[in-house]
């Protein structure tokens, strides 16, 4: 029984789901059993479904926490932007002198 590394499995799943190749064609081209490809695609789709479900269920407190984090990040970036603008003005004045 051959074992396949995760990189190959991800590549095969990408060929099937994103490139639109049939499982049979990929199995034939890469000499991998059709059943393995079907299993890898199914596992990938289940993982994607779980990720999507995790994103769907956010409690109000989690939402408020995330919103506060994002607002804090925006404030930090605005402050950094103001500092950079001041520094640019100072350097521009020095260049004119």
44 and 50 in contact (C-beta within 8 Å)? no
CA-nearest of 24, 13, 8, 7 to 48 is: 13
pLDDT in tens, 34-85: 999 999 999 999 998 887 777 667 788 988 999 999 999 999 999 999 999 9
- pLDDT, position 56: 66
Residues 13 and 52 grouped into a single domain: yes
| CATH code, 12 | 1.10.10
Do 48 and 73 sit in the same domain of this protein?
Answer: no
**Between 14 and 57, residue with greater pLDDT:** 14
Same domain, 10 and 22: yes
Residue 7 is part of which domain span?
A: 1-57
Residue 96 confidence (pLDDT): 79
Residues 68 and 42 in one domain: no
Q: Are residues 67 and 93 in the same domain?
A: yes
Query: The whole model's pTM is what?
Result: 0.55
């Amino acid at each position: 029984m051959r074992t396949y590394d995760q990189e190959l499995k991800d590549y095969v799943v990408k060929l099937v789901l994103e490139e639109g190749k049939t499982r049979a064609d990929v199995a034939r081209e890469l000499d991998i059993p059709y059943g393995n490809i079907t299993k890898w695609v199914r596992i990938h789709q289940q993982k994607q479904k779980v990720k999507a479900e995790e994103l769907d269920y956010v409690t109000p407190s989690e939402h408020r926490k995330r919103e506060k984090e994002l607002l804090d990040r925006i404030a930090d970036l605005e402050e950094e932007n103001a500092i950079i603008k001041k520094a640019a003005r100072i350097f521009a004045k020095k260049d004119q002198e």
